[in-house]
Structure formats: structure tokens, C-alpha cells
Structure 1
Amino acid sequence: MARLLIVGGFLAAVFWVFSIVDCAVQPATRHRGVPKAAWIAIVVLIPVIGGILWFTIGRRRANDQSQRRVLAPDDDPTFLQSIGKTEQDARIKRLEEELARLDEETDEPPAADSRP
């Protein structure tokens, strides 16, 4: 029975230290609810329960929807589906015309200096 208490106490201490370190090394954006310092205080002052609270409600997961990567319009499939095929074709045509005009402007030879 005494061995079980020693092993349980050792595991609780390891979990407590792991919780403190994990809470301290996470960036402030990954803390939910209260500020980072408050979470560290909770985990330190309430050893096992604080660690359980940290891992269940305090730590924001990397794949959390609130930290979604923002896509550019041409990479966003919902945006691409929202514009019709005719709009896309018209936009492509305008861009091609603009590129052709820019090519024509840069292909002209430089003006010759007229010296007396």
C-alpha cells in the first residue's frame, strides 16, 4: 500500500511539473480564458487539478478554428466558387489586355538624343 502511495505521489509530481512547463512555454495566443500568468498561478497553486484544468479548458489546440490561416482570394475555394465562370473569363481577358499593353510600352526603343 505504501508503494502505491509513493508511485501515485511521484506520478502526480511529474504531471504537476509537466503542466507548469507546458503552460509556461506556450505562447500567449494559445492560452484560453485568462492570461498566461493566471494559468501558471492556477497550475502551481492547485497542483493536480490545476494541470487537469489547463489541459482541458486552458490550452488552445493548434488546430483550433479561431486560429485558421487566412487565405488569399485566389487560394480560397469558396471565393473561387462564388464568382461565376463568365466573371473569371472577363477578368482573365482584362489582365491579358493589360499585359499586352505593358509589353507594347516596354518594347519601344529609347528616344534618341538630338545634339546640335
Structure 2
Amino acid sequence: MPFVLSLLVLAFSVVTLIDIITRQDWQVKHLPKFGWIILAIVIPIVGGIAWWAAGREYPERPARAPRSEPLRAPSIRIVDDRRMEGRSTEQQLADLEREIEADRLRAEIARRKAERGEA
């Protein structure tokens, strides 16, 4: 039993040290990276727990939509090929790029309105 406990502590320490070392400097909080390494080596269990609880920067979770809002199907656009007659490929691509940019801007406006709580 003590052998298994020792292996678990060793594995926890190694995983903690690898995580500290592979983090970018901006992903480390409260102490410099070298300070966390020293803490994890000198006091393995306490240092590891402190690192996982307070030392590392976790990625932000995407905001979830409230349950009261129903899921919406993506809008479907029907393209009328007749309007493309007589236009060069370059002109058609330029039109398509303008439409994509307009859709991106509309989505950005809707996202910002949703963040502010506007309807």
C-alpha cells in the first residue's frame, strides 16, 4: 500500500511539473513559473494542489445559451443562378466575398446585441 501511494504522489508530481513547464508565461498566475516549479518540487502534494487550484490559467468556457431560448435552425439562402449570367468568375467571386463579409458583420452585430441583452 505505501508503494502504491508513493507511485501516486510521484505521478501527480511529474504531471504537475510537466504542466507547469509547458505553460506559456501568460498562462501562469500568482507566481513566476520558476516559483511554481520550486514549490512543486519542495512540497509536492501541497504545491501540486496549489498549482492546479490557483496557479494555472484555464481557458474560458463559451457562454451557454439560456434554456428558455429555442434552438434556431441556420438560415438557408437560395441562390438564383440567373443573376450570375454574363458575369465573369472574378465578378462572381467578388460578389460572394461581399455577401460573406455582410453575413459576418450581421452575425457580429447580433452577438454584440446578445451580449448587451438587447432583443
Q: What TM-score bracket applies, with the shorter chain setting the length?
A: 0.5 to 0.7
Unaligned runs of 5+ in 1: 66-73, 83-116
TM-score normalised according to structure 2 size: 0.52
User: What are the residue-to-residue correspondences of 1:42-57 with 2, within 5 Å?
Assistant: 42-57=39-54
Unaligned runs of 5+ in 2: 63-104
Q: Deviations over 1:3-46 (max 9, x none)?
A: x1110011101111111111110111111111111111111111
Q: Flag the structure with larger Rg.
A: 1
TM-score computed with the length of structure 1 as normaliser = 0.53
CA–CA distance in 1 between the matches of 2:14 and 2:21? 11
Paired residues in the alignment total 71
The one of 36, 42, 49 equivalent to 1:39 is 36
Runs of 4+ with deviation above 2 angstroms: 74-82
State whether structure 2 residue 75 is matched by structure 1 residue 78. no
Residue in structure 1 matched with residue 56 of structure 2 by the alignment: 59
Please state how far the C-alpha of 1:78 moved relative to its aligned partner: 2.3
2:48 corresponds to which letter in structure 1? G
AA at the equivalent of 2:13:
W
